[in-house]
Amino acid sequence: MAGYGHLSAGSARVRLLNDGVCPPEVNMARDLTLLEAFERGEIPATLRVYQWASPALTYGVNQQLPSRLVAGCERLGIPMFRRPTGGKAVLHGHDLTLALVWQPADVRLYPRQVYLHLAPALIEAFRRVGVPAVQGDATAPDPRSLNDGGDCFATPAIADIVHAETGIKLMGCALLVRGATVLMQASIPLRLPEVSVVALFGHAHPEPPPLELETLVQALYHSVADHLRYNGS
């Protein structure tokens, strides 16, 4: 399933990099390498999609991890990796993970404005696969707060995409804004985790809606590329 693709976006080019299933220890480093290559002008705007060969946990660059979460990961043998982006902890292994690097045009490069700029493309991608979606409306949680068990999926913040009818969080997103360039990292659960979410975070996760992987990847790719083309990014 891994491979490369290109789609014209006006005068720009959007690249799809489908990395398939990757070892947990390489994924955050690859996303950061992607950002650096884009900053050097070596690659066009790129959407990288990938899965995890085994469960792992990533956490935000400024997050303070609860001791319970750290102990749970150690007990269950789940490796932990700090993300270059913000947000809270995400359990991987059952999800499709995204990394998007691009340079927004005519957008004030504050996280809220960047999210508002990109959200319509993400909502459209879910619409294309038959899932009604809207942007979350909760205040972004304090990365130092321990009240939610450190769990990204505990709060449907404005950075996230939720099911329009059930309110289930469909996609958790986090950003790094560096100069004029943005790295977005996001997770879309495809099924329930194989490890105990309750043991890690102290609460369960709802079952996500059924999503066909390849159809979802193509919907994300084309929705993002169309959005960048029409918005001059």
Q: Where are the domains of the chain?
A: 3-230
How large is the average pLDDT for residues 2-10? Answer: 43
CA distance 157 to 148: 13
Strands of the sheet with 169-178, listed across from one edge: 3-9, 12-22, 45-52, 95-102, 181-189, 169-178, 161-163, 133-135
**pLDDT, tens digit, 9 for 90 and up, residues 140-175:** 555 555 566 899 999 888 889 999 999 999 999 999
CATH number of the 3-230 domain: 3.30.930.10
**pLDDT, tens digit, 9 for 90 and up, residues 171-197:** 999 999 999 999 999 999 999 999 999
- pLDDT, residue 213, reads 97
pTM of whole model > 0.75? Answer: yes
Assess whether pLDDT exceeds 70 at residue 133.
yes
**pLDDT, tens digit, 9 for 90 and up, residues 71-116:** 999 999 999 999 999 999 999 999 999 999 999 987 777 888 899 8
Instruction: Copy the structure tokens of residue 187.
Output: 């997770």
